[in-house]
Structure 1
Amino acid sequence: MVISTASVWDEIADELADGTVIEYEDATVYGDFEQDQILHQGAVRVLPNGWIALPTGRLLSPEAVHHIDP
């Protein structure tokens, strides 16, 4: 498995610049590079401001998320 060391925000910055919301039906959100800290598994929405919206209505800060595996 190849894991990028680049921030998820670098990868999707262009898509978010136009106000687009990115939705994943089944994703894993990690809080660290080693993939030891799983913050969420399931559906997520990446909002234009970089925050991650969960189906429960909770939000994950862009600073808390290392990367998302769709």
Structure 2
Amino acid sequence: MVLSPESLADQFANIFEDEYDDVIIYGDEEKSMILHEGPAHIRANGWVEVPEGRLLSPNAVHHIDVQENL
């Protein structure tokens, strides 16, 4: 069986990418610099895509808190 590089990349994306409805993305440890609140797509390469069409660099994001829906 032969896999194309594109299909292999798609398979890894399915495993390593996450989609969240409600997150808070921080740019610092103290939680004083909020970069985004709301839905986000975390790509396999570490970049974070937000609905406005922006991509946040892994270097800019300190951490992401996933908000649980109650």
TM over 0.5: yes
Instruction: Tell me which stretches of 4 or more aligned residues in structure 1 moved more than 2 Å.
Output: none
Q: Which residue of 1 aligns with 2:44?
A: 48
| Match for residue 21 of structure 1 among 6, 17, 21 | 17
Shift of 1:56: 1.1
Question: Distance in 2 between the 1:56 and 1:36 partners?
Answer: 22
Identity of aligned residues (%): 51
Q: Which amino acid aligns with 1:26?
A: D
Q: Which residue of 1 aligns with 2:60?
A: 64
Aligned length: 53
Q: Which amino acid aligns with 2:32?
A: D
Shift of 1:26: 0.4
Question: Distance in 1 between the 2:46 and 2:60 partners?
Answer: 11
Q: Which residue of 1 aligns with 2:6?
A: none
Question: Distance in 2 between the 1:39 and 1:54 partners?
Answer: 10
Structure 2 stretches lacking a partner, 5+ long:
1-11
Q: Which amino acid aligns with 1:55?
A: P
Structure 1 stretches lacking a partner, 5+ long:
1-17
